């Protein structure tokens, strides 16, 4: 029974199909990747991303390290030429390898840049590498004298269809999370101009909840099935195209909307490009039309013949690999019970999980403290030092990598200072390699109260991290205060009613810990009000030392540090309210309701063509400079990162 079903599946996978639709996807994907390499892969900012050898990167495997700046530039050149070769269908296998190998190397080299769509691009690259997508509309087919009806096995289409189907379906399954369905994941999108037609009947909050959350959930969950059936496919095309064009304006997500648009036709009839060409070419006479029909009949006959015979060990092995790939792509998004080390407040690393837009973060404070264990001296570092983004702050595995990177760089600077015999600021607080590094991250997940994510007293240089074990220094999400999200809006509106320049900050903290905070002199009328638990307030000048119970309030002086200790047996919850004098003085107004007015075009590729040309010129300049550096030792010219 099993072998019979497996044999029928193999015959289905090897049914001969028209290659023209696959060729269109190949061409469009290659062109979009040429743009993506320049933009989102960082080709235009090669000097910023890879020019400083001491910058911290976050590889999936610690043994994986970046090449030197010149060779990283050359790698981008190889990857771009590979994408060009994919689009042209020239030496197709080699071009795919030239694109895929550097792409996956860059992907695995830094987890802080992982996204669902960057993972998708790598998968599509692999699927094209294994396919015969160069059988039509390609330089290879021209030089190899391939006929226009050169078929491809159906599995070339099946794998791409499966991957795109899973892209939507898994995103829909992930959106069954109550965080999404209750409308906490995405806020304040309803005021964007792309929702103008809905504003006639809905408020901004209703658009956020009904259109963004619920319609987005239903679209992701159902659109894959609508694509599969020919009768519902036009509906899916309309809704999906509108959805992706709107996303291209709402979010800065690079080529992702356009890759999705480019892959939609994979669900259409295999020969739709040829049919379109036949309708456009009105010079085709009836005789040539009959010949095409005959050609098509021959292809159909060959397809039926292939379904009956020619199935051997190789074909069955390929079918097994196809099933393995499909199973792996269905398993990885739910494999977090194995890879516990990557679980934080959310499961897994952002990328292969397909939890698109479900989690929104708001980080208000990141403290990086370095302690010399010999002298006891403390020093606070800029959390942006030697980093390209702040994604590392939300993942325990990356905080450990960052701590070790900081230690390495600090010791290198200390060594440089000792070799030069010149005092540097670093020698004032580090005297040896006997140091400790502590990180304190305050952030909010999906509109919750601000709270710390890690134990601030845990030395990350001695952290025991494993892929298969939860990080012991990760503090739990204070879910007992989730209900406050329903009252936060009311409290905010009440505070905002005091003045156009008042604001409020919601804080929650654990028993036995304290928040050390500095209030800028630009703020005035600052007060601290306890909502839950008990706290002790004290400042560095000993101007105040008071215990506050629930609903009690105290005013806080500005220009000095103060501490708020949580002394209750349960987590505390309190708010800061304040008046922003700088904003009042400058009479700044809030962003207009119809924001992003400069982005009216639904086609940013056309709107940003000047920027794209400048970015491409900059990347090719780096690549040319790298060639001269490798061949003639010409110095590499690069910019300095400005924070």
Same domain, 416 and 492: no
**DSSP sequence for 347-391:** SS-TTTT--TT---EEEEEEEEEEEETTT--EEEE-TTTT-S-SG
Distance CA 78, CA 293 (A): 42
Question: To the nearest whole number, what is the mean pLDDT of the chain?
Answer: 88
Same domain, 31 and 147: yes
Q: CB under 8 Å to 131, separation ≥6 — which residues?
A: 22, 152, 156, 159, 160
- CA-nearest of 400, 367, 370, 382 to 642 is 382
- 27 within a domain of the structure (yes/no): yes
Q: Taking the model in full, what pTM does it have?
A: 0.91
Same domain, 18 and 57: yes
Confidence of residue 293 (pLDDT cuts 50, 70, 90): very low
Both structure tokens of 425: 């600021």
Both structure tokens of 263: 């892959």
Residues 573, 481 contacting (CB under 8 angstroms): yes
Confidence of residue 296 (pLDDT cuts 50, 70, 90): very low
Same domain, 574 and 620: no
Residue 563 is a catalytic residue: no
CA atoms within 13 A on the CB side of 30: 27
Q: Which of the following is catalytic: 175, 274, 394, 407?
A: 175
CATH number of residue 502's parent domain:
2.60.120.10
State which of 414, 447, 477 marks the end of a domain: 477
- 197 within a domain of the structure (yes/no): no
pLDDT in tens, 91-125: 999 999 999 999 999 999 999 999 999 999 999 99
- 322 within a domain of the structure (yes/no): no
Q: Where are the alpha helices (DSSP H) in 177-215?
A: 178-181, 204-206
Least confident of 61-70, 286-295, 509-518: 286-295
- 420 within a domain of the structure (yes/no): yes
Is residue 87 predicted with pLDDT exceeding 80? Answer: yes
Same domain, 517 and 617: no
- 259 within a domain of the structure (yes/no): no
State which of 477, 508, 526 marks the end of a domain: 477
Range of the domain at 548: 488-586
Same domain, 368 and 439: yes
Is residue 345 predicted with pLDDT exceeding 90? Answer: yes
CA dihedral 190, 195, 201, 206 (to 10 degrees): -20
Same domain, 84 and 141: yes
- CA-nearest of 300, 267, 314 to 16 is 300
Distance CA 237, CA 254 (A): 21
From the CB of residue 234, how many other CB atoms can be counted at a distance below 10 Å? 10
Same domain, 17 and 131: yes
Same domain, 149 and 17: yes
Same domain, 552 and 617: no
Both structure tokens of 630: 């490798």
Same domain, 88 and 37: yes
- CA-nearest of 352, 246, 256, 242 to 33 is 256
CA 127 remoteness from chain centre? 21
Q: Burial code of 223-232, b = ≥16 C-beta within 10 A, e = fewer?
A: bbebbeeeee
Number of structural domains (the chain) is 3
Residues 298, 149 contacting (CB under 8 angstroms): yes
Same domain, 398 and 470: yes
pLDDT of amino acid 409: 93
- 38 within a domain of the structure (yes/no): yes
Distance CA 603, CA 609 (A): 10
Residues 222, 165 contacting (CB under 8 angstroms): no
Q: CB under 8 Å to 225, separation ≥6 — which residues?
A: 232
Distance CA 395, CA 341 (A): 9
- 242 within a domain of the structure (yes/no): no
pLDDT in tens, 231-263: 999 999 999 999 999 998 888 888 999 999 999
- 539 within a domain of the structure (yes/no): yes
């Amino acid at each position: 029974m099993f072998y019979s079903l497996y044999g029928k599946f193999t015959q289905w996978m090897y049914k001969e199909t028209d290659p023209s639709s696959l060729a269109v996807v190949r061409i469009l994907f290659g062109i979009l990747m040429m743009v993506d390499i320049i933009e989102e892969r960082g080709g235009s900012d090669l000097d910023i991303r890879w020019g400083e050898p001491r910058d911290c990167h976050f590889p999936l495997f610690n043994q994986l390290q970046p090449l030197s700046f010149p060779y990283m530039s050359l790698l981008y050149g190889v990857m771009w030429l590979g994408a060009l070769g994919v689009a042209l269908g020239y030496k197709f296998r080699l071009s795919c390898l030239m694109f895929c190998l550097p792409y996956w190397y860059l992907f695995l080299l830094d987890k802080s840049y992982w996204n669902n769509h960057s993972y998708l691009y790598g998968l599509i690259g692999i699927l094209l590498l294994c396919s015969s997508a160069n059988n039509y509309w390609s330089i290879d087919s021209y030089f190899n004298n391939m006929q226009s009806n050169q078929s491809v096995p159906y599995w070339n289409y099946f794998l791409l269809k499966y991957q795109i189907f899973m892209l939507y379906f898994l995103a829909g399954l992930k959106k069954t999370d109550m965080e999404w369905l209750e409308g906490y994941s995405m806020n304040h999108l309803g005021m964007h101009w792309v929702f103008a037609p809905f504003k006639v009947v809905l408020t901004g909050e209703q658009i956020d909840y009904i259109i963004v959350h619920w319609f987005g959930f239903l679209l992701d969950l159902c659109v894959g099935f609508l694509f599969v059936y020919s009768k519902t496919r036009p509906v899916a095309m309309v809704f999906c195209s509108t959805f992706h064009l709107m996303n291209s304006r709402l979010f800065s997500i690079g080529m992702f909307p356009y890759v999705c648009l480019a892959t939609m036709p994979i669900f259409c009839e295999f020969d739709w490009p040829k049919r379109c060409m036949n309708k456009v070419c009105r010079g085709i006479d009836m005789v040539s039309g009959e010949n095409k029909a005959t050609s098509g009949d021959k292809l159909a006959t060959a397809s039926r013949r292939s379904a009956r015979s020619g199935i051997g060990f190789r074909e069955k092995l390929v079918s097994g690999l196809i099933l393995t790939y499909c199973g792996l792509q269905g398993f990885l998004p739910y494999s977090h019970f194995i890879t516990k080390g990557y679980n934080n407040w959310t499961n897994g690393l952002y990328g292969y999980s397909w939890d698109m837009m479900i989690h929104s973060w708001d980080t208000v404070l990141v403290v990086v403290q370095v302690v010399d264990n010999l002298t006891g001296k403390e020093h606070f570092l800029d959390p942006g030092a030697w980093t390209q983004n702040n994604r590392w702050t939300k993942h325990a595995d990356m905080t450990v990598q960052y701590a070790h990177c900081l230690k390495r760089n600090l010791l290198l600077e200390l060594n440089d200072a000792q070799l030069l015999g010149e005092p540097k600021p670093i020698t004032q607080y580090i005297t040896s390699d006997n140091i400790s590094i502590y990180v304190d991250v305050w952030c909010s997940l999906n509109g919750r109260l601000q709270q710390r994510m890690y134990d601030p007293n845990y030395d990350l240089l001695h952290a025991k991290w494993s892929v298969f074990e939860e990080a012991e220094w990760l503090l739990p999400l204070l879910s007992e205060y989730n209900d406050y999200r329903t009252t936060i809006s009311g409290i905010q509106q009440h505070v905002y009613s005091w003045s156009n320049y008042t604001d409020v900050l919601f804080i929650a903290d654990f028993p036995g810990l304290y928040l050390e905070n500095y209030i800028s002199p630009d703020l005035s009328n600052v007060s601290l009000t306890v909502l839950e638990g008990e706290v002790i307030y004290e400042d560095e000048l000993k101007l105040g030392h008071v215990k506050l119970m629930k609903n009690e309030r105290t005013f806080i002086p500005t220009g000095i540090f103060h501490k708020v200790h949580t002394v209750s047996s349960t987590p505390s919850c309190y708010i800061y309210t304040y008046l922003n004098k700088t904003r009042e003085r400058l009479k700044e107004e809030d962003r207009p309701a119809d924001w992003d007015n400069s982005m009216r075009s639904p086609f940013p590729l056309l709107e940003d063509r000047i920027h794209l040309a400048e970015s491409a010129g900059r990347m090719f300049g780096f690549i040319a400079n790298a060639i001269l550096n490798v061949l003639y030792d010409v110095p590499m010219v690069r910019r300095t990162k400005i924070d």
